[in-house]
Amino acid sequence: MVKRRTAQNTYYLVNLGCSKNAVDAASMAQLLDESGMAALESERQAEVLIVNTCGFINAAKEESVNTLRELARRKRPDQYLIAAGCMAQRYGAELAAKVAGLDGVIGTRRWMDIVDLIRRLRGRKDPAPLYHLPTEATVVGSDEHGALRASVQGHSAYLKIADGCRRPCAFCAIPLIKGTAVSRPPDAIIAEAQRLSAQGVQELILIAQDSTDYGHDLGLRDGLAHLLDRLTTESDMAWIRIMYAYPGAVTDRLIEMMATRPQILPYLDIPLQHGSRSALLRMRRPANVEWVYRTVEKMRAAMPNLAIRTTFIVGYPGETDAEFEELVQFVRAMQFDRVGVFTYSFEENTPSAEQPDHLPEAVKQARRDHLMGVQQAISLAKNQALVGKTLDVLIEGQGDGLTVGRSYRDAPEVDGYVIIEGDAPTGRPIIPVQITGAMLYDLVGRVEGAPTGGVLPLTAVGEGE
């Protein structure tokens, strides 16, 4: 008989991957807590070990497998190891074959059944892994068992408004993993925003695979604008940030909503992926580059202080020198505030995997480095233009005589920081900060009680003196 050394009804949860994965992990943790289980910070004494895996690109897959293998290596017979999340959903039995000692596999589409899976593991007779991998689209609403679909980090919270995706991008495996897009009910989202605000959350970050597709399955026209209208009138959230907009889906009503509702930050994350029409066509992405120019011009006219974040893929199969140069010139012309550049990652069973002329890794990396160098000069110039301005800053932490926060221009984890000299006033999560210095991605500033004339409104930041 194995001598039991675990603490009964306890779990240890590791989350890997993006903010959307973090929301699923937080929701699973809530359901586990409500079932009577307790979270532990170490796997040593936990009865159940859970890894919420990421399966988006090869590096993420490797990290997921290695994390599971390490836990399996140290796991005792009286512990259960469960793989959850994207890689579990996509690969299932393959993952169990790679990780000896894996007890359970639960995918992204039924994360809400984690408690039931653990009960089944405790009562199983056969040591073979148990699988819970339904293939239907993610179920939302009442089937979420009342779990809060948010991940809270300090004064900020990622709130998931939809899951899955119906876009045809040739390089992306998300539809294979998540299924088609399914929007969460507006009433549930509003109730969660109110709950988060009551908990002291200042910044609500709306996330989905494609936030601008929100509500299409609910019969809503301009669903994201509709949701924002309700959020700004039915909740007390100080900041609302929009992530993952889709090119071609930014409507005039959405622009108007962003420009006229002060709670909505003048910040938009809109992954464009390339600046060459021919490359975009192979990617099966919106290829109307002129739409980008027109829409960004329209947005900047409505919000002169608008901060735009985007991402690009370099080294996509067949990308020529001319196409890459088009992308470089596009970035120079558009003067984006924030840019992420990724090298193309081969994803099996996606249309891009079958395309010819895959590029060497060295070429992809060289192109990434070049494009990042172009953007760094733009980023520095934009930051330098803010010196002397005053920005509202959401405080994230302090110590050793410095305080760190983020302005409206900075989404958590992917953008820069405002580094403040000295300690910030207590009891005020958002404070005015005068910008005194600029770096490639970060700003430096000092707290001011109230500058003469008051803090510049967001609509004035970045304009001339």
> Residue 104, SS3?
strand
Q: How confident is the model at residue 138 (pLDDT cuts 50, 70, 90)?
A: low
Predicted local distance difference test score (pLDDT) of residue 449: 57
Predicted local distance difference test score (pLDDT) of residue 142: 66
20 lies in some domain: yes
Predicted local distance difference test score (pLDDT) of residue 393: 97
Over range 443-453, report the average pLDDT.
Answer: 68
> Within this chain, do residues 55 and 166 fall inside the same structural domain, yes or no?
no
Torsion of CA 328, 334, 337, 341, to 10 degrees: -30
Predicted local distance difference test score (pLDDT) of residue 140: 63
> Within this chain, do residues 262 and 126 fall inside the same structural domain, yes or no?
no
Specify the CATH number for the domain of residue 173.
3.80.30.20
The gap from C-alpha 135 to its chain's centroid, in whole angstroms, comes to 23
Q: Is the pLDDT of residue 400 over 70?
A: yes
Q: Is the pLDDT of residue 459 over 60?
A: no
> Residue 244, SS3?
coil
206 lies in some domain: yes
> Within this chain, do residues 331 and 448 fall inside the same structural domain, yes or no?
no
Q: How confident is the model at residue 139 (pLDDT cuts 50, 70, 90)?
A: low
Q: Is the pLDDT of residue 167 over 80?
A: yes
Over range 149-169, report the average pLDDT.
Answer: 96
Last residue of a domain, one of 80, 98, 132: 132
> Within this chain, do residues 302 and 205 fall inside the same structural domain, yes or no?
yes
Tens of pLDDT along 234-265?
999 999 999 999 999 999 999 999 999 999 99
> Within this chain, do residues 374 and 396 fall inside the same structural domain, yes or no?
no
| Closest C-alpha to 14, from 64, 52, 54 | 52
The residue that leads in pLDDT, 98 or 55, is: 98
> Within this chain, do residues 121 and 215 fall inside the same structural domain, yes or no?
no
Six-digit token string for 263: 């709670």
Over range 415-442, report the average pLDDT.
Answer: 93
Predicted local distance difference test score (pLDDT) of residue 116: 96
> Within this chain, do residues 61 and 114 fall inside the same structural domain, yes or no?
yes
Tens of pLDDT along 355-368?
999 999 999 999 99
How many other C-beta atoms can be found within 10 angstroms of the C-beta atom of residue 361? Answer: 11
416 lies in some domain: yes
Predicted local distance difference test score (pLDDT) of residue 455: 38
Domain range enclosing 370: 147-384
Last residue of a domain, one of 321, 349, 384: 384
Residue 329 half-sphere exposure toward CB, CA atoms < 13 A: 8
Last residue of a domain, one of 323, 353, 384: 384
191, 200 contact by CB (below 8 A): no
Predicted local distance difference test score (pLDDT) of residue 450: 34
140 lies in some domain: no
Specify the CATH number for the domain of residue 19.
3.40.50.12160
CA–CA distance, 91 with 70 (Å, rounded to integer): 19
The residue that leads in pLDDT, 233 or 451, is: 233
Predicted local distance difference test score (pLDDT) of residue 452: 34
> Within this chain, do residues 405 and 451 fall inside the same structural domain, yes or no?
yes
Q: Is the pLDDT of residue 119 over 70?
A: yes
pTM for the full model?
A: 0.92
Specify the CATH number for the domain of residue 433.
2.40.50.140
The secondary structure of 332-397 as a DSSP string is HHH--SEEEEEE----TTSGGGG-S-PPPHHHHHHHHHHHHHHHHHHHHHHHHTTTT-EEEEEEEE
Over range 215-234, report the average pLDDT.
Answer: 97
141 lies in some domain: no
> Within this chain, do residues 31 and 161 fall inside the same structural domain, yes or no?
no
321 lies in some domain: yes
> Within this chain, do residues 223 and 345 fall inside the same structural domain, yes or no?
yes
Q: How many domains does the chain have?
A: 3
CA–CA distance, 126 with 103 (Å, rounded to integer): 10
> Residue 418, SS3?
strand
Six-digit token string for 214: 């929100």
**Beta strands of 16-62 (E only): which ranges?**
38-39, 46-53
Q: Is the pLDDT of residue 180 over 60?
A: yes
Six-digit token string for 133: 């991998």
Predicted local distance difference test score (pLDDT) of residue 150: 97
Predicted local distance difference test score (pLDDT) of residue 3: 52
Predicted local distance difference test score (pLDDT) of residue 57: 79
2 lies in some domain: no
1 lies in some domain: no
- Give whole-number Cα distances, 167 to 218, 273, 286, in Å: 17, 14, 10
239, 193 contact by CB (below 8 A): no
Six-digit token string for 285: 């992405």
Predicted local distance difference test score (pLDDT) of residue 456: 38
The alpha carbons of the chain give a radius of gyration, in whole angstroms, of: 23
CA–CA distance, 443 with 391 (Å, rounded to integer): 10
Six-digit token string for 29: 């943790």
Single-letter amino acid code for the residue at 142 = S
Predicted local distance difference test score (pLDDT) of residue 464: 32
Q: Is the pLDDT of residue 291 over 60?
A: yes
> Within this chain, do residues 406 and 380 fall inside the same structural domain, yes or no?
no
> Within this chain, do residues 298 and 377 fall inside the same structural domain, yes or no?
yes
